[in-house]
A and B are shown apart, each in its own frame.
Chain A
Amino acid sequence: MAEQRLLLDSTLDSVEVAETAVLRDAEAIGFSEEDLHQLGMAVRESMVNAVVHGNRYNARKKVHLSITKAADRLTVVIADEGEGFDLTCLPDPLAEENLLRQSGRGLLLIRAFVDEFQVRRGQPHGTEVRMVKYLAKAS
Chain B
Amino acid sequence: MSVKLTTRQVGDVTVIDATGRITLGEGATIFRDTIRDLATKGGKKILVNLSDVSYIDSSGIGEMVSGFTTVTNHGGQLKLLGLSKRVKDLLQITKLYTVFEVFDDEAAAVRSYS
Contact = CB atoms under 8 A, between A and B. Distances in A.
Interface in A32-80: 37, 41, 44-45, 48, 52
Interface of B: 23-25, 57-59, 61-63, 65-66, 68-69, 86, 90, 93-96, 98-99
A103 B94 contact: no
Interface of A: 12, 15, 37, 41, 44-45, 48, 52, 93-94, 99-103, 105-106, 108-109, 112
Given A12-B25, A48-B59, A102-B62, A108 B94 contact: yes
B58 A99 contact: no
Contacts of B65: 99-102
A105 B63 contact: no
B63 A112 contact: no
Contacts of A109: 57-58, 90, 93-94
A9 to B, nearest CB: 15
Contacts of A106: 58
Contacts of B63: 102
B24 A105 contact: no
A34 B86 CA distance: 9
A83 to B, nearest CB: 20
A100 B98 contact: no
